[in-house]
Amino acid sequence: MHPVRKQRLYLVLFVVLFSSAAIGLVLYGMRGNINLFFPPADVIAGKAPVGQSIRVGGMVVDGSVVRSDDSLEVRFELTDYTASVPVSYTGIMPDLFDEGQGAVASGKLNEQGLLVATEVLAKHDENYMPPEVAEALEQSGYDHKGVQQQ
């Protein structure tokens, strides 16, 4: 093989190996930051992994918000109008969090089916709906107000 061709081959092999290693390291580093979204119906059906970080979104069930008297713990349920998932969150709730409003909770599902949330996001105005929540509600056949679609 000609020396120039051999040098080019080594250069190409080096670039491919270096790029593969860099991509592998990036993916390895990001594995802990990947949160899959599940609608409440999928969580209740057992499709969500237990003990891994997930996001669950839907509407906060009216009458389900229970605030602890001696801590910042808040318990509530998220629904897509076909199923409801109980959520426990300890921390300061977003100002716009309220019953009947859209919310997305990030956390880990335990064996009892309770989502122990580390973050709760509330929709920021009456016209906005997070895309994942809108899609989950659409699949359940309901709109964001709980009215069944035709």
Report domain extents, the chain.
3-32, 35-140
Domain 35-140 bears CATH identifier 2.40.50.140:
yes
Cα 25 to Cα 92: distance, rounded to the nearest angstrom: 35
Which residue would you say has higher pLDDT here, 93 or 147? 93
Tens of pLDDT, residues 28-80: 887 766 778 899 999 999 888 898 889 998 889 999 999 999 999 999 999 98
Intra-chain end-to-end CA distance of the chain, in Å: 71
Q: 């921390």: which residue's tokens?
A: 91
Do residues 144 and 135 touch, judged by C-beta distance below 8 A? Answer: no
Which residue would you say has higher pLDDT here, 32 or 117? 117
Distances (CA, A) of 87 to 67, 125, 144: 12, 22, 19
Rounded to two decimals, the pTM is 0.68
Average pLDDT of the chain, as a whole number: 85
